[in-house]
Structure 1
Amino acid sequence: MISAMIHGFILAFGLILPLGVQNVFVFNQGATQPKFRRALPVIFTASLCDTLLISLAILGISVIVLGVYWIKVVLLTVGILFLAYMGYVTWKSKPKTNFSEDKALTPKKQIAFAASVSLLNPHAIMDTIGVIGTSSISYIGVEKIGFTLACIITSWIWFFSLALAGRVVGRLNNSRGFIAILNKVSALIMWGTAIYLFISLIK
């Protein structure tokens, strides 16, 4: 079971580490919210969405998603349109000169955006289902449970750490300039992902 958990930890960490839409959004909220506790909605939402995707992947939903062509087409199309729109909104957004509560994203908006970038990101879904789902096939019983828990726990620890890192950076004197750059980078990542998905769709 220990080896299965180590495998799950390394695999989940490797998948979640790259700078993507979900990671940038969580980091950004940690940096812009006036208090760390006000970033909890985005942390919990991102973590719960990952927990859902990991659980579905290991339960075998990957066979359905990866096996039915029209499901993949719909998923990719929705994801492309969403990422293109979110990229535009993020590019146009301007960092605040202060961190007053009335200018920060409300909990409802945090939850909505976090759920969107988590569940409407086909690239992340395919990674989770294709890699974690496929890797879990080699385990049964207690080992599969250990593998699953390791993947989920890694996700939760990562998002808490990411938001905390964002908060530390957000408190720096030059944070406004950093967040402005972060927004631009985030938008470019979203557009780049959308283009990549579009190319994979028309192939």
Structure 2
Amino acid sequence: MFQSILHGLLLAFGLILPLGAQNVFVFNQGANHKKWSHVLPVVITAGLCDTLLILLAVLGVSLILISFPIIQTTLYIIGLIFLGYMSWSLWREKPASIEEHTPMSAKKQIGFALSVSLLNPHAIMDTIGVIGTSAALYTGTEKVLFTISVIFVSWLWFIILAILGRTVGRIDHSGKIILILNKVSSVIILIVAALILKNLIQLLS
């Protein structure tokens, strides 16, 4: 029983720690908002999306969905469009200390968090291929504990990222660091979009 919990914790940290579009976006929003409560929409949305993907992977539903080529193609196209738009928006995002600029609204945060979480084929493949496969090693209570451990790490990490981002935002009185972070975030998300485009071309060829 302890083994399944430890396995879930270590596996989740291993998957979520690498710098990806989702992590970058959560950190970025933490840095761009003056109050922690204003970052809750992106944290909650990202956490719920990951929880959904993890549950689908553990239950095996995602394997059925992803086995249809038309679903994969649609996912790639929609994900590519949203990530491209997100990259463009973050590139133009400026902190209020540099220029009068309203940080991303809750509605926009939720929309972007949904797209970067549910429309990122690489994240979905990782969830299905790694978490789904690992969950298959367990049954009953052990599988439940494994799943809870993975979900717990996911939520904890998003909260930590938002807090770290908020800390950077508070010490960056000039707004220059946040401006650079916005540009870096934009480039990272654009790279993810480029990888998706590559996979889409291979899928259609």
Residue 119 of structure 1 corresponds to: 118
Q: Tell me, in whole angstroms, the C-alpha distance in 1 between the residues paired with 2:25 and 2:134.
A: 28
Tell whether 2:151 aligns with 1:159.
no
Residue 135 of structure 2 corresponds to: 136
Give, as a single letter, the amino acid of the residue that structure 2 aligns with 1:43.
V
Q: CA deviation at 1:140?
A: 0.6
Residue 85 of structure 1 corresponds to: 85
TM-score, structure 2 as length reference: 0.91
Residue 43 of structure 2 corresponds to: 43
Q: Tell me, in whole angstroms, the C-alpha distance in 1 between the residues paired with 2:175 and 2:23.
A: 19
Q: CA deviation at 1:46?
A: 0.8
Q: CA deviation at 1:161?
A: 0.6
Contact 2:51/2:151 (<8 A) preserved: yes
Q: CA RMSD in A?
A: 1.9
Give, as a single letter, the amino acid of the residue that structure 2 aligns with 1:20.
G
Contact 2:56/2:62 (<8 A) preserved: yes
Residue 183 of structure 1 corresponds to: 182
Q: Tell me, in whole angstroms, the C-alpha distance in 1 between the residues paired with 2:154 and 2:99.
A: 27
Q: Tell me, in whole angstroms, the C-alpha distance in 1 between the residues paired with 2:67 and 2:167.
A: 44
Contact 1:41/1:107 (<8 A) preserved: yes
Change (3 A) 1:106 1:88: closer
Q: CA deviation at 1:177?
A: 1.4
SS of 1:96's partner is coil
Gaps of 5+ in 1: none
Deviations 1:125-181 (A, max 9, x none): 111112111111111101100110000000011011111111111111356111111
Residue 32 of structure 1 corresponds to: 32
Residue 62 of structure 1 corresponds to: 62
Q: Tell me, in whole angstroms, the C-alpha distance in 1 between the residues paired with 2:172 and 2:85.
A: 31
Contact 1:169/1:175 (<8 A) preserved: no
Tell whether 2:12 aligns with 1:7.
no
Q: CA deviation at 1:116?
A: 1.9
Return 142-151 or 62-71, whichever deviates more.
62-71
Give, as a single letter, the amino acid of the residue that structure 1 aligns with 2:17.
L
Q: Tell me, in whole angstroms, the C-alpha distance in 1 between the residues paired with 2:69 and 2:174.
A: 45
Contact 1:62/1:130 (<8 A) preserved: no
Give, as a single letter, the amino acid of the residue that structure 1 aligns with 2:172.
N
Q: Tell me, in whole angstroms, the C-alpha distance in 1 between the residues paired with 2:156 and 2:87.
A: 27
Q: CA deviation at 1:23?
A: 1.0
SS of 2:172's partner is coil
Return 132-141 or 115-124, whichever deviates more.
115-124
Return 107-116 or 7-16, whichever deviates more.
107-116
Residue 71 of structure 1 corresponds to: 71
